[in-house]
Chains A and B, each alone.
Chain A
Amino acid sequence: MLNIQNLSAKVDKKSILNGLSLNIKPGEVHAIMGPNGSGKSTLANILSGKKGYDISGKINYENNDLFNLAIEERAHKGLFLAFQYPLEIPGVNTSNFLKTSLNAIRKSKGQKRT
């Protein structure tokens, strides 16, 4: 389902990930562990499409080249990043935010708004 091949990532020429490969099949649960600064968050950020990394390698997700998908398209396909420190968007309450998010995802699947 998720196949990472030889993924390397740099920020400002500083190498963070160096040739990571990983294959995750449907139904499996994986936990990635490591000391501070080992690149766990970087991996999650790259998977979800955060900008600012110099990336090489390949990631295939459900038969899509992940790098061809926009951030929101990845989200529509089920990639979900739990934020360590979620932001507050001033004036937008949680229920409104959840509803807007749900509706955006439903729209992408051709379902009706709730």
Chain B
Amino acid sequence: MREKELEKIKEYKYGFSTDIETIKAPKGLNEEVIKFISKIKKEPKWLLDWRLKAYERLKILKEPNWQKPKYPKINYQDLYYYSAPKSFKEKPKNLDELDPKLLETYKKLGIPLQEQKRLNNIAVDAVFDSVSVATTFKEKLTEKGIIFCSISEAIQKHPDLVKKYLGSVIPITDHYFATLNSAVFTDGSFVYVPKNVRCPMELSTYFRINASDTGQFERTLIIADKGSYVSYLEGCTAPMRDENQLHAANVELVALDDAEIKYSTVQNWYPGDKDGKGGIYNFVTKRGLCKGKNSKISWTQVETGSAITWKYPSCILMGDNSIGEFYSIAITNNHQKADTGTKMTHLGKNTKSKIISKGISAGFADNTYRGLVDIGRNAINSRNYTQCDSLLIGNKCGAHTVPYIRNKNSLANVEHEATTSKISDEQLFYCNQRGLNQEEAVSLIVNGFCKEVLQQLPMEFAVEAQKLVGISLEGSVG
């Protein structure tokens, strides 16, 4: 039975790599490399100075080591910090000029970029290693005044906005990986939604790591001006490789008065093989600033990939009456490790936050929820509700919950609930007796367990995520 099931484990579907000629920065991390990146991206001087300042800071920073999953020391001098398809020396003006190999890659990933085959009502920005390949539906968005492009393009065309907001949520001095990202970030998305505009479609970025020995340093900046609304999706895949690869992203969100940002992630980086060899180190800093009153930022994440996931999408609730939400599913199987959660920093009056975290652990995996609810002195009448549920499959995996609560205001209301459960034999028997095989049963039970979070995802993603939940756990019950 067990062998039969192991055989059935599907290979990681996105594990192929594209053979394409690339331009790379020289290996290693130093001032020259940073200047190289800045130059190739034709950046203004202020940005180069900004990068170099971050690099100076990096020199004195140490890697944090308080997290649960430990990893072997990364040799930062042995990495490429910039890798782009050669055909990108001059950025292709339209898709006809784009290397067919790239189009083919995205087609294989299920992200068609060609006009006639585009995903319905989702605008996509496709990032390949260190550059944005294409952005769809640009014209339609421009009509409404919405800016959706790669961050590199935004630096050229909308320098004022970038200068004003870049690093305003995650300062360059923040912590090791955030500072590293500030020094060497390459590409990512930029979104600006003007006043009182409701973005008519989902905006989405699809990140793909292709080159080996290359770190991906994504930088995304989303600004929702007063009274606006935007929903943004992020998806990720990478080829199967025996070495570990680093993805250190910084994502900053800024919501002004009455604005709302909904940010959803379906993270499916290569998780490594069943013995824990290879896979992506996903060390990500995501932070949203509810700057204006009545603003709202909602994070939803489905984390199924990566050898190590280490991220805490957070909200700083600065504006009065602002709302922060965090919905998370983290699935770890085989030897995957996840240490994820959120920080809700309540500064304004009547601020509210809600945390729903579902951790699922199977095989030899280790899953940690780590979170901080921080209620400031002036955050009167603020509220937080936290619910952390863990589900264990098998008896060799682990689940941990580390919630911190810091309350400096006696009028605040903080709730925390946590459960740990196992899939019981009774539940499996019940499902089997109704005709479901072992895998279908696990998938059904896990999807039920995650329902509150899956419901938060936009339709198009929810179906995909549900399937992914099933696939990630295949072979976990023997």
Interface positions of A (Cβ within 8 A of B): 48-51, 70-72, 75-76, 80-81, 83, 86-87, 89-92, 97, 100-101, 104-105, 108
For the complex, what is the distance from the CA of A90 to the CA of B440, rounded to whole Å? 16
Q: How many residues of B contact A (CB 8 A)?
A: 21
A50-B429, A91-B452, A104-B440 known; A75+B434 contact, CB < 8 A: yes
**A89→B431 CA distance, assembly (Å):** 9
B437:A81 contact, CB within 8 angstroms:
no
Lowest 5 A-B CB distances belong to which pairs? A91-B448, A91-B451, A71-B432, A92-B448, A101-B434
Q: Across the two chains, which residue of chain B brings its CB closest to A101? A: B434
* Cβ contacts B418-444/A at 8 Å (1 or 0 each): 000000011101111111110010001
Smallest Cβ-Cβ distance to A81: which chain B residue: B433
Contact A86/B432 with A91-B450, A104-B440 known, Cβ cut-off 8 Å:
no
Q: Give CA–CA (A49, B429) in the complex, Å.
A: 9
CA distance A47 to B425 in the complex (A): 17
Task: Give me 20 other A-B pairs in contact (C-beta within 8 A), A76-B435, A101-B434 excluded.
Answer: A49-B432, A49-B433, A51-B429, A70-B437, A71-B433, A72-B432, A72-B437, A75-B434, A75-B435, A87-B427, A89-B427, A89-B430, A89-B444, A91-B452, A92-B444, A92-B451, A97-B444, A100-B440, A105-B435, A108-B435
Tell me whether B445 is interfacial, beta carbon within 8 Å: yes
Cα separation A48 to B432 with both chains bound (whole Å):
9
Residues of B within 8 A of A86 (CB): 430
Map CB proximity to A onto B353-366 as digits: 1 under 8 Å, 0 otherwise.
00000000000000
**Cβ distance A107 to chain B, nearest Cβ, rounded Å:** 9
Whether the Cβ atoms of A91 and B449 lie closer than 8 Å is yes
Q: Does B447 contact A (CB under 8 A)?
A: yes
Contact at B432–A101, with CB atoms within 8 Å? Answer: no
Nearest residue, chain B, Cβ from A92: B448
Interface residue from A89, A90, A92, A101 paired with B435 (Cβ < 8 Å):
A101
Contact B450 A72 (CB under 8 A): no
List of A residues within 8 angstroms of B449 by Cβ = 90-91
- Expressed in whole angstroms, the minimum distance between the Cβ of B293 and any Cβ of chain A is 35
CA distance A101 to B434 in the complex (A): 6
- Contact between chains at A104 and B435 (CB < 8 Å): yes
* Complex: A92 Cα to B445 Cα, angstroms: 7
Question: What is the minimal beta-carbon distance from B393 to any residue of chain A, in angstroms?
Answer: 14
29 contacts between A and B (CB under 8 A): A48-B433, A49-B433, A51-B425, A51-B429, A70-B432, A71-B429, A71-B432, A75-B434, A75-B435, A81-B433, A83-B430, A83-B433, A87-B427, A87-B430, A89-B444, A90-B449, A91-B450, A92-B444, A92-B445, A92-B447, A92-B448, A97-B434, A100-B434, A100-B436, A100-B440, A101-B434, A104-B436, A104-B440, A105-B435
Tell me which residues across on chain B come within 8 A of A101, comparing CB atoms.
Answer: 434-436
> Is the beta-carbon distance between A89 and B448 smaller than 8 angstroms?
yes
> Which B residues touch A50, using CB under 8 A?
429
Is A100 a contact of B444 with CB atoms below 8 Å?
A: yes
Q: Give the distance in Å from the alpha carbon of A48 to the alpha carbon of B433 in the complex.
A: 7
Question: In the complex, which residues of chain B have a beta carbon less than 8 angstroms from the beta carbon of A100?
Answer: 434, 436, 440, 444
Q: How far is the CB of A39 from chain B (nearest CB, A)?
A: 18
Most A Cβ at <10 Å: residue of B433, B435, B449, B452: B435
> Does A90 contact B433, Cβ atoms closer than 8 Å?
no
Q: How far is the CB of B5 from chain A (nearest CB, A)?
A: 12
Residues of B within 8 A of A76 (CB): 435
Question: How far apart are the CA atoms of A51 and B447 in the complex, in Å?
Answer: 25
Residues of B within 8 A of A92 (CB): 444-445, 447-448, 451
Which residues of chain A have C-beta atoms less than 8 A from B452's C-beta?
91
Q: Which residue of A is nearest B454, CB measured?
A: A91
Contact A72 B435 (CB under 8 A): yes
Task: Chain B residues near A91: list those with CB within 8 A.
Answer: 447-452
Min CB distance B432 to A, Å, is 4
- A112–chain B nearest beta-carbon distance, Å: 16
CA distance A114 to B431 in the complex (A): 19
Residues in chain A near residue B429, CB distance under 8 A: 50-51, 71
Residue of B nearest to A102 (CB): B435
User: With a CB–CB cut-off of 8 A, which chain B residues contact A90?
Assistant: 448-449
Q: Which residues of A contact B448 (CB under 8 A)?
A: 89-92
**What's the Cα separation between A90 and B452 when bound, in Å?**
11
The answer for the CA separation of A81 and B432 in the assembled complex, in Å, is 11
Bound together, the chains give a CA A87 to CA B436 distance in angstroms of 15
B436 cross-chain contacts in A, Cβ below 8 A: 72, 100-101, 104
Residues of B within 8 A of A80 (CB): 433
| CB nearest to A74 among chain B residues | B433
Report the bound CA distance from A91 to B419 in whole Å: 15
Determine how close the nearest CB of chain A comes to the CB of B455; give it in whole angstroms: 10
In the assembled complex, how far is the CB of residue A111 from the closest CB belonging to chain B, in whole angstroms?
Answer: 12
**A87 to B445 alpha-carbon distance, docked (Å):** 12
Shortest Cβ distance from A50 into chain B, in angstroms?
Answer: 6
What is the CA–CA distance of A72 and B439 in the complex, to the nearest angstrom? 11
**Residue from A72, A97, A105 whose CB has the most chain B CB atoms within 10 Å:** A72
B426→A87 contact, CB < 8 A: yes
Distance A101 CA – B432 CA, assembled complex (angstroms) = 9
Give the residues in chain A near B434, CB-CB below 8 Å. Answer: 75, 97, 100-101, 104
Bound: A30/B407 CA distance, A: 66
* Distance of A72 Cα from B436 Cα, bound (Å): 6
User: Taking the nearest CB of chain B, how far is it from the CB of A66, in angstroms?
Assistant: 14
